[in-house]
Each structure stands twice: as structure tokens, then as C-alpha cells.
């Protein structure tokens, strides 16, 4: 139960769950995963039909616990009748976290950085396609499968990036990486156009507005649109940027501060410690210069 469709929520348990066939009205990996996990304790089969494909880490994990390889074909389902057994899991490096290092190394002169053991799940790795279209020098090696997840080592070196019109088919699978992709666009030559990304408006912040405002504060020509932005590449200047408490906005502008002229102060950056506790020391170990201000 809820009042006016908002928290707080009152949730009442029942003795027995029953399997359902559920059509997601809006693509959401989080909602899909919650239904599939609940389906493990329901009588009968639980099936989820998605309007478009979303990240499939939960399905891959459950297939592994069932002793099967993952092969995505049609709707996804869970069933309490399927026997699951304990497994040893290897959790791959997060491609969204790796993206900050990929952009920093691409834009910083004389860079040559190796990122081992990064997950390249096909529902997550469109950021690699986008950066390569922009001219990034990214090499994939040692491709393998660990715990039903595709994994590789990524080597990235300095490159002269150029602006592009980001293909619509890459938007959904790179939605979390757009703040740092925007920083890559700001450091590239020419104009980068992002469209079809209205979901960015309802993330931890309005990421379209936050990114455009932050880039403008740093002297970059950025224009906001309802579902995206245009960014004309150039040099960064010193400035102060509000992250609006959004960890990805804060980390993206931390990258901007490391590759531009002068320094960048990022306000409300505490959430970095929650999502990526080692971000600052890892960036500094890679040769960049970040300082936490208390």
C-alpha cells in the first residue's frame, strides 16, 4: 500500500506466491530481476516479457546456479522447480566504472593503460563502440567467459577523438556512461550529438541538465535538448561544478578536471565513496591528480 503512489510503502507478505506472466510496461532490468528472484519462491513458472532487451546479469547468474550456460532466446523465466546449487562466482570488473578510465586515458597525452578482467556483457558495453567510433584506441584481449559473463582485458592509449552523431541503437546500452561520454565529447574535435536519451532525465539527477550546466561552467559549448545534448569539443577551463549529489556526474567531471587546463572543484561528491570507494586512489595511481576536500 502507498499514498499518492509515493513512499513510504507498506508491503504485506503472503504464505504462497504464484507464478505469473508479466509484460514490463517500461524496460527495467531492476524490476525484471526482482520478479525473477521472487519467482524462485513461487508455485509455477514466472515469465517476464520485455519491450526491449535490458542487462541480463541476473539471468546469467541464475543459469549458473542451475548448472547451465546462458543463451538468451525470447522471454526470461524462473521456476521454483529448477534445482539451484551453490557455485563459486567470479565477479567481473564493472564496465561503467572502467569507462571513466577509458575516457581519461584517451584524452590524456602519452597514456597507455591496461584494465584487466572487465566485463563486456553485450547489454552493457556500447560505451566501447561509441568511444571507438570517436577514434579511441581501445584494444580487447584475452576474451573469456567467467561465471557465465563475458570478460576481457582492455588496453587504452591516447588518441585524438572526434565528434560523432551517437547511433540510436547504442543509447540504451550506454545510458549510465553518458556523463563521461559527454566529457569525452568535450575533449574531442567537432560536434557530438546525443539524442534518444530522455531516460537520463530520471536518473539520480537530471543528467542532461547537470552535464550541460557543468560543461558550460568549464567553458565548453554545450546545448541541452529534451532527449539529449550537442557538445562542441574544445578545451576546459577552471571552474566549480555541481554534481547534484549524483555519483556519475561527480566522477565524470573529476575526469574533466584531470585532463583540462587548470582545476575543477566538484560540489556534493560524497556519493562517490558509496558507488566506487577506490575511485580517487585508483585515478591517482593511474597518474591523474585528484584531491578530496573535507
Q: Are 231 and 222 in contact (CB under 8 A)?
A: yes
How big is the chain, counted in residues?
Answer: 294
Side-chain-facing half-sphere of 249: CA atoms under 13 Å: 28
- Max CA separation in the chain (angstroms): 62
How far apart, in whole angstroms, are the C-alpha atoms of residue 123 and residue 273? 26
DSSP β-bridge partners for residue 189: 162
17 Cβ neighbours under 8 A, 6+ residues apart = 38, 39, 41, 42, 43
Q: Which of the residues 15, 112, 176, 270 is marked catalytic? A: 176
Sign of the CA dihedral 126, 115, 155, 99? positive
Buried/exposed code over 257-274 (b: 16+ C-beta within 10 A; e: otherwise): bbbbeeebebeebebbee
15 catalytically annotated: no
How far apart, in whole angstroms, are the C-alpha atoms of residue 37 and residue 42? 9
Q: Are 221 and 163 in contact (CB under 8 A)?
A: no
For residue 22, what is the enclosing H or E element?
strand 21-23
DSSP-based helix, strand, coil % in the chain, nearest 5: 35, 25, 40
Active site residues per annotation: 176
Amino acid at each position: 500500500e502507498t499514498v499518492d503512489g509515493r513512499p513510504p510503502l507498506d508491503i504485506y507478505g503472503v504464505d504462497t506466491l504464484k507464478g505469473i506472466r508479466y509484460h514490463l510496461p517500461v524496460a527495467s532490468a531492476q524490476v525484471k530481476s526482482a520478479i525473477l528472484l521472487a519467482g524462485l519462491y513461487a508455485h509455477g513458472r514466472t515469465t517476464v516479457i520485455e519491450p526491449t532487451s535490458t542487462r541480463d546479469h541476473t539471468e546469467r547468474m541464475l543459469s549458473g546456479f542451475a548448472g547451465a550456460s546462458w543463451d538468451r532466446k525470447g522471454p526470461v523465466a524462473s521456476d521454483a522447480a529448477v534445482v539451484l546449487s551453490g557455485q563459486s562466482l567470479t565477479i567481473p570488473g564493472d564496465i561503467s566504472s572502467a569507462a571513466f578510465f577509458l575516457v581519461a586515458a584517451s584524452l590524456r597525452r602519452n597514456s597507455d593503460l591496461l584494465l584487466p578482467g572487465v566485463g563486456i556483457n553485450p547489454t552493457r558495453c556500447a560505451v566501447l563502440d561509441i568511444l571507438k567510433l570517436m577514434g579511441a584506441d581501445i584494444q580487447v584481449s584475452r576474451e573469456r567467459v567467467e561465471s557465465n559473463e563475458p570478460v576481457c582485458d582492455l588496453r587504452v592509449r591516447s588518441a585524438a577523438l572526434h565528434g560523432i552523431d551517437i547511433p540510436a541503437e547504442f543509447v540504451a546500452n550506454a545510458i549510465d556512461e553518458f556523463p563521461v561520454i559527454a566529457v569525452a565529447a568535450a575533449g574531442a574535435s567537432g560536434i557530438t550529438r546525443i539524442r534518444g536519451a530522455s531516460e537520463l532525465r530520471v536518473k539520480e539527477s537530471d543528467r542532461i541538465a547537470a552535464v550541460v550546466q557543468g560543461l558550460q561552467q568549464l567553458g565548453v559549448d554545450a546545448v541541452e535538448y529534451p532527449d539529449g545534448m550537442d557538445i562542441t569539443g574544445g578545451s576546459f577551463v577552471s571552474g566549480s561544478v555541481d554534481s547534484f549529489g549524483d555519483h556519475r556526474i561527480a566522477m565524470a567531471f573529476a575526469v574533466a578536471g584531470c585532463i583540462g587546463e587548470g582545476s575543477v572543484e566538484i560540489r556534493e561528491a560524497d556519493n562517490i565513496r558509496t558507488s566506487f570507494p577506490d575511485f580517487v586512489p585508483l585515478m591517482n595511481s593511474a597518474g591523474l591528480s585528484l584531491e578530496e576536500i573535507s
